[in-house]
Structure 1
Amino acid sequence: MVDFQELGELEQRIVMALQVDGRATWRKIAKVLDEPERTVARHGAALLEDGKVNIAAIRHRAGAVIAALNCVPGTVPVASEALSARADTSFTYMVTGQSDVVSELHYDGGLEDILTLQLPATPGLSQIQVYPILKFFKTIRGWRAGNLSTAQLRMLEPEVGGERTEWHPTEALDATDLTIIDALRRDGRASIEAISRQVKLGESSVSRRVEALLRGEHISIRTLVEPALLGLPVEALLWVQVSPERIDELGQRLSQLPQVRYLAAIAGDAQLLVDVTVPSQQDLYRFIAQTDWGQMVQLRTSVVLGARKRGGRLVSTASGR
């Protein structure tokens, strides 16, 4: 079980560095943060070993949808668990508001089987609404939870595998590529040496393949951390209605705000889905009431009661969370 007590200042800075490049060496992070390498390595390794931070690859798919579920009373945790157990879900939240559970699903090919057979069979489901994702403005790969300087961010930025909001992988993957992806999904910081032992290839060949997977838009390496550990215990989904000609303008504007950790354009009775994390409910109120929305939106707010899955990885929640 992960303790959601807020991390110390140095630990938070290490997390911020890993958000930029989850595979950065402790030596590189220490140099950027101007801290002793041994200290950074000790704190960083403890964060990973304790499960407070996870580094994991996510494989890019052709399409994605948001599924918003209403559940029979008393079955919300069961439905959340069932969706989280699916290999194609990225995140699953229990929320307040019109829906009980909200989950993002990624897919290749058609949606018919997923929407007509699989999702309706979710335990506890009473009603479901599906929102196809039309465009990502920001994913959790691009979320920066703190205030590293522009120079530090630039020094940490990886040569390949940075933030992407769209992807078009074209090259076919072979069995070795898929094995490498599986290894990085389990541990995004797995060394080239460890991966080479699994696939029985030389380290130089594996290194080239990992770079090709990142450069070819097949995968992203994401740093997964509960916002509460960074002093941001209040999380909400904002379902934003906006006129069609203003969707891109508002999406681009909101994606630049540090409170926004995820933002997508969706098809349905809302046009944007915005995931916001803030220190308190008062801060959430200020974000909603004082953000420069203009006169062009209506929105409804769902407070996240708990996350069972983030970035394709199950979350071990602390008692009472």
Structure 2
Amino acid sequence: MDSATLGGTSLGELDLQLLHALHLDGRAPFSRIAEVLGVSDRTAARRFARLRAAGAARVTAVLDSRGSGHAEWLVRLRVPPPAAADLARELARRPDTAWVTVLSSGTEIVFIVRAPAGRAAPLAGLARHPRILGVEAHRLLRHLMEHRWPGRTSALTGEQVAALRPAPGGVAAPIALNDLDRRLLPVLAADGRAAYPRLAGRVGWSESAVRRRLEELRRSGALRFDVEVDPVLLGFPAQCLIWLAVAPSRLASTARALAADPQAAFVGAVTGPHNLLVIAVCRDEDALYAYLSDRLGSLDGVERVETAPITSYAKRVAPPT
């Protein structure tokens, strides 16, 4: 794909390379990215500023729930179609929600909500909401992909990837959030590339303290940076939630296989009648059909499949809590 457009924004090869570079390290200095891509610092910074201003892409910080002592719950709401958009926006405003989506013909909303580990999902009031017809909550046990949507990251060569990939962090272990974290993380969730002087000014701590704490969170694996890009912009308008019921003996192998698929934007283990959740992104409905019938249909151990197309997003990533 040489280019793509959305709302007047055109993605050229350099834009795709830049997004791939940021996918590898969301806080990599533009000077390092520019050197690897063979362009000037100013060009790299200007191209990303253009994409961000157009709402086409942004870097955001995501706190590992296990590292913060929180649990994630996948919640499904049945709603009357006229209420879906307003309810989705209402849920998106909550600081503990992530990835608020409207499915199918607007009859269902799916979102992730975070809560302290050991506590039930914070859903008080939803069951009694006059515009909510039904509520299901299932624990999101584990994210089973190292990076979201590997299919989008194909613009760089192997040599360029090696030059930009940061040193691996540790395995996320529970880490107590302090006052600095509670001030810092929402700012980074809104702009993962915010410069240290700006971060220091926003949180009221010294620049050196902010730098040390951010490096500590990254080194521990508790904090990672991701690039939000609408798949439509990259030429993948067919997006679908897929719930899979997989035989327990095949769960790990099936998850590994799916996590390597270029069509998979997310793979996670969940509780409930289905034990795997997949977000698939495809170029069109024919490609989605082929993925469902040929790819999923060929996997041993898959006992049941439920699908629902994603029609809109009200929120993609929540500020860490």
> What TM-score range do you get, normalising by the shorter chain?
0.7 to 0.9
Tell me which residue corresponds to 1:306.
Answer: 312
Quick check: 1:71 aligned with 2:57? no
Is this contact kept in 2: 1:19–1:143, CA < 8 A?
A: no
User: Deviation digits for residues 55-81 of structure 1, max 9, x if unmatched?
Assistant: 121233321111111113421112212
Quick one: which of 89, 102, 105 aligns to 2:110?
102
Structure 1 residue 291, shift from structure 2 partner: 1.3
Report if the CA contact (8 A) 1:14-1:29 is conserved: yes
Q: What is aligned with 2:257?
A: 253
Aligned partner of 2:90 among 79, 82, 85: 82
Q: Secondary structure at the match of 1:239?
A: strand
Kindly provide the amino acid, as one letter, of the partner of residue 305 in structure 2: L
Any conservation in 2 of the 1:94–1:305 contact (CA below 8 Å)?
yes
- Aligned residue for 1:269, secondary structure, equals coil
Q: How do residues 120-199 of structure 1 correspond to structure 2 at under 5 angstroms? A: 120-122=127-129, 124-138=131-145, 141=148, 143=150, 145-147=152-154, 148-159=156-167, 167-170=172-175, 172-199=176-203
Give the aligned residue type for 1:49.
Answer: A
**Alignment partner of 1:294 is 2:299:** yes
Equivalent in 49, 53, 68 of residue 49 of structure 1: 53
Q: Which amino acid aligns with 1:168?
A: A
- Does residue 224 of structure 2 align to residue 216 of structure 1? no
Question: Could you tell me which amino acid in structure 2 is paired with residue 233 of structure 1?
Answer: P
Counterparts of residues 222-301 of structure 1 (less than 5 Å): 222-291=226-295, 293-297=298-302, 298-301=304-307
Name 1:204's counterpart in structure 2.
208
Distance 1:212 1:104, change over 3 A: same
| 5+ residue gaps, structure 2 | 1-5
Letter in 2 for 1:44: F
- Aligned AA for 1:56? T
1:140: how far off? 5.6
Q: Distance in 2 between matches of 1:257 and 1:4?
A: 30
User: Between Structure 1 and Structure 2, how many residues are aligned?
Assistant: 307
Once the two structures are superposed, residues 259-290 of structure 1 have per-residue CA deviations (whole angstroms, 9 ceiling, x without a partner) of 11111011111111000111111111111122
Q: For each residue in 1:124-166, what CA deviation from the matched residue of structure 2 results, as whole angstroms up to 9, or x when unmatched?
A: 21011112112210266564513123322222222366xx9x7
Question: How big is the shift at 1:109?
Answer: 3.7
Secondary structure in structure 2 of the residue aligned to 1:168: coil
Structure 1: distance between partners of 2:130 and 2:21: 39
C-alpha RMSD over aligned residues: 2.5
Question: Which of 117-126 and 48-57 deviates more?
Answer: 117-126
- What secondary structure sits across from 1:114 in the alignment? coil
Q: 1:129 & 1:98 partners in 2: Cα distance?
A: 17
Contact map agreement 2:149 2:264 (CA 8 A) in 1: no
Question: When the two structures are superposed, what TM-score results if normalisation uses the length of structure 2?
Answer: 0.86
Specify the code of the residue in structure 2 equivalent to 1:22. G
Q: Would the alpha carbon gap of residues 123 and 160 (structure 1) be closer, same or farther in structure 2, given more than 3 Å must change?
A: farther
| Equivalent residue letter for 1:18 | L
Task: Write the letter of the residue equivalent to 2:120.
Answer: E
Q: Distance in 1 between matches of 2:15 and 2:173?
A: 35
TM-score with structure 1 setting the length:
0.86
Contact map agreement 1:64 1:107 (CA 8 A) in 2: yes
SS at match of 1:268: coil
The farther-off stretch of 103-112 and 220-229 is: 103-112
Distance 1:272 1:99, change over 3 A: farther
Residue in structure 1 matching 2:43, options 22, 39, 57: 39
- Cα distance in structure 2, aligned partners of 1:283 and 1:98: 23
2:82 corresponds to which letter in structure 1?
Answer: G
